[in-house]
Structure 1
Amino acid sequence: MTITDLNTAFAEEKARQLDAARAVAARFQARVDRGEIRMIGLNRYEVLTGWDRGEVFTVSRNTQGQIEQIIANHGLDERADDTIALYASSPAWHGLGQIIPGGTSDIETVLKLSGLNFNVTTVPALYQWDGKLRQHADQYHTVRTDTGDALGVVGRKYQPIQNRTGFHFLQELVGRFDVVWESAGLLRGGKRVFISIRLPETVTVDAPGIADIVVPYIAVMNDHSGKGQFQCVVTPWRPVCANTERFAVRDAATRWAIRHTAGATDQIKEARRTLGLSIEYFKQFADEETALARTDIAIADFHKVVADLWPLDDDASDKKRTNFANRLSSLDEIFRTETERVGRTAYAAERAITGYLDHVAPRRPAQTMTEEIARTTAALEGADDDQKTTAHRRLLTLTRR
């Protein structure tokens, strides 16, 4: 007969739990010390290296300050089986989704794993009046054919662009039908979808002590809510959540978008021209980022760029002055962190401004969104692209002093 001392067993189990907690904390702190992640707010961190650079996550701690859970702020939909609506060719920081190592070229597989295997149709907008059901002649609802969920309200001429069409569009855009799909997923209940492929070229920011290597992707983002267009962007980050970031290259268009109409995705030549898919495009990006990385700037230069982006009038209210001071404080903190990695350069300034816009700047979420999902959806949809490009161009002027 085996006799178990419950007190001893409890003590041993507790010791194992504490050892495991210490190991998690030690590994986490080691990543911070190596400069792989950094804190950007209360219990919020940003990944600084690797494929998932720019991803944001939250760490929950117990009353003793020990790490209990690392929560990915992915903003992705959940499927009916409680898995995340994401396919990817390699694991992302958040460790979620269905992974096929090395990826696949099979569209059917990606449609199934990502949750994109549904069509969208339009149905008449009906309303009850005086005991009778009436139809709004110029208004329709977009509806998922698999669940019947309404996605948005559209006009009579609206033509849904199906998820499958996004895959075919990317194949025709690059002129290949054996492309490996990098990622695909759903946002906002299927109202937004994304699909991406990796380009063969890589971009190196070649400056002493940096040598950042950026892999370009082409991503399609489609909107089924009636509030957005079908669009294609060139991006240095594969979309594996709602966090992504686009190039800010002077005089180079990196986004092509079109309304949901019949034959919309047939305009491949126009899309190629607008996106500027060429080696010269990526060389220009590398040259400009390298020039920024080789340009030392003073804190006053950084503050001048910030003031250009967020001007403060002489007669501004106390509230606006407080907001300006808080923003500047946040930007200074991010800039200091970036300078530790790449020096006090224009490149560090650009990274600080981009990081602030993506992960720190206040966002007013819609009623159905959390602030984090509102923030990451805005990043995916390029809400701050103009401001990022303005900062990029302004900083480039400092390289020519």
Structure 2
Amino acid sequence: MSYASTLIAGPANLLAPVEPSRRSAWAQLGTDVTGTGSAQQALVTAGLAGWRIRKVPMSGSDISRDGVTTIDNPEKVMLVYTDPATGATRYLSTVGTKYGVHQNEAGAAVLDTLVAESGARGTGYAGQLEGGRKTFVTIELPTTMYVDGHDAIQLHLVVFNSHDGETAFRVMIVPFRPFCANQLPVAIANHVSCVSIRHTSKSEINTEEIRSKLGLLYDYGTAFESEAKKLIRTEMTNREFDDLIREVWPVKANASARTLNNARRRNDLLTGLWTSAETQAHIRGTRWAAFQAVTEYLDHFAPAKNIEVRANRVLVSEDVAKRKQAAYDLLAA
């Protein structure tokens, strides 16, 4: 029996977000590639195909009274790519000489396998972050789960590639609450939520290896639903929510006036989401609602220069991920 077939059907009206204009971070930063016939076509549509990423030797120039001396760097190379829109060569990052390049197309076979294996209709969004140093493609699994029978959660497989010398090629499963466009990527003990392949000189993106681990990712989805049910069935008081905020965002007693003012504004927003937001209406007063309030703040209300900057943080910031995990761990304890 496939994972999708074990999920519970539910009322369709719970799938609509409260604010039609609110979109996920994937939608804000990526291109809608639904309807493309294959992963390769999705990459083309999103401008991620044909980059021909390659290594270029690094050197520098030392200018002195004796003239200009060119100095080679034997330990580092530049990664550059061909801009498919203009044909121009553009800089990506600086990496070690043994760095293994994985072209964006290298993940296409993995994507098509994931789509076929999961029963999804195809890919959802594809895009790039940090000037192309990171790329992503999402796949929405075909059936929605309903926590305790009524709170809708979708599961998305997200494929991240990177060209930054730091991040691995990853396939992740990310729970997503469409009612408020919250991403809920948290670790659950003894369950695998991510498969990674490092960029080494001998590494390859092995489709069969990833395919063999899909069952572990789907097991995570089942475990997430079980844990979410516990949270939604556990009541929580306003005082307990205040304690949660202080644990997730600790502030020293001798903090500066600016820090204290920022904390007050943050706490007011969080409390408003907890007590009054329409997105928590049918789960209000539960630990599940507390987790959603914290996540909604991080995903949609945390101060940022613009919504794109905030969306980028949602996808790549370690601080955002750690605060979501901290909130979950405290609530699930």
- Give the alignment's TM-score, normalised by structure 1: 0.65
**Matched residue SS, 2:28:** coil
1:121 counterpart = 2:121: no
The residue aligned with 1:109 is 41
Give 2:19's aligned amino acid.
I
> Which residue, 81, 92, 96 being the options, matches 1:144?
81
1:393 counterpart = 2:326: no
> Which residue, 303, 308, 311 being the options, matches 2:242?
303
Q: Post-superposition shift, 1:318? A: 3.3
Give matches, 1:220-239, under 5 Å. Answer: 220-237=159-176
Mark the CA change 1:275 to 1:133 in structure 2 (over 3 Å): closer, same or farther: farther
> Which residue, 151, 165, 186 being the options, matches 2:106?
165
Mark the CA change 1:178 to 1:116 in structure 2 (over 3 Å): closer, same or farther: farther
Contact 2:128 2:136 in 1 (8 A): yes
Q: Which moved more, 1:245-254 or 1:353-362?
A: 245-254
Q: Post-superposition shift, 1:343? A: 2.1
Q: How many residues matched?
A: 300
Q: Post-superposition shift, 1:164? A: 0.7
**Matched residue SS, 2:146:** strand
Mark the CA change 1:178 to 1:115 in structure 2 (over 3 Å): closer, same or farther: farther
Distance 1:192 1:124 in 2: 22
Distance 2:17 2:129 in 1: 30
Q: Post-superposition shift, 1:263? A: 1.7
The residue aligned with 2:269 is 330
Contact 1:244 1:379 in 2 (8 A): no
> Which residue, 121, 128, 141 being the options, matches 1:199?
141
Distance 2:113 2:281 in 1: 43
**Matched residue SS, 1:263:** coil
1:380 counterpart = 2:315: yes
Give matches, 1:8-23, under 5 Å. Answer: none
- Give the alignment's TM-score, normalised by structure 2: 0.77
1:134 counterpart = 2:71: yes
**Matched residue SS, 1:332:** helix
**Matched residue SS, 2:107:** helix
Distance 2:142 2:307 in 1: 32
Q: Which moved more, 1:281-290 or 1:198-207?
A: 198-207
The residue aligned with 2:9 is none
The residue aligned with 1:250 is 188
Give 2:18's aligned amino acid.
E
Distance 2:140 2:17 in 1: 26
Contact 1:153 1:226 in 2 (8 A): yes
Q: Which moved more, 1:168-177 or 1:214-223?
A: 168-177
Indicate the structure (1 or 2) with the bigger Cα radius of gyration: 1
**Matched residue SS, 1:139:** strand
Mark the CA change 1:216 to 1:354 in structure 2 (over 3 Å): closer, same or farther: same
Structure 2 unaligned runs (5+)? 1-15
Give matches, 1:333-344, under 5 Å. Answer: 333-336=272-275, 337=277, 338-344=279-285
Q: Post-superposition shift, 1:328? A: 0.9
Q: Post-superposition shift, 1:159? A: 1.6
Distance 2:317 2:224 in 1: 18
Give 1:247's aligned amino acid.
P
The residue aligned with 1:355 is 296
Give 1:126's aligned amino acid.
S
1:37 counterpart = 2:19: yes
The residue aligned with 1:283 is 222
Contact 2:39 2:112 in 1 (8 A): no
Distance 1:387 1:264 in 2: 33
Q: Which moved more, 1:113-122 or 1:162-171?
A: 162-171
Mark the CA change 1:122 to 1:396 in structure 2 (over 3 Å): closer, same or farther: same
Distance 1:275 1:141 in 2: 38
Contact 2:113 2:211 in 1 (8 A): no
1:217-273, Cα deviation, whole Å (9 max, x unpaired)? 2111112233433222111349xxxx8723325313423334311324238647865
Distance 1:169 1:35 in 2: 30
Distance 2:233 2:293 in 1: 16
Distance 2:148 2:160 in 1: 31
Mark the CA change 1:317 to 1:177 in structure 2 (over 3 Å): closer, same or farther: closer
Give matches, 1:199-218, under 5 Å. Answer: 199-207=141-149, 211-218=150-157
Mark the CA change 1:217 to 1:206 in structure 2 (over 3 Å): closer, same or farther: same
Distance 1:133 1:178 in 2: 56
Give 2:203's aligned amino acid.
G
Mark the CA change 1:268 to 1:321 in structure 2 (over 3 Å): closer, same or farther: farther
**Matched residue SS, 1:277:** helix
> Which residue, 74, 84, 93 being the options, matches 2:28?
74
Structure 1 unaligned runs (5+)? 1-33, 39-45, 57-72, 77-85, 90-99, 364-369
1:158-178, Cα deviation, whole Å (9 max, x unpaired)? 121110112223445688599
Distance 1:352 1:281 in 2: 23
Bigger proportion of residues as helix: 2
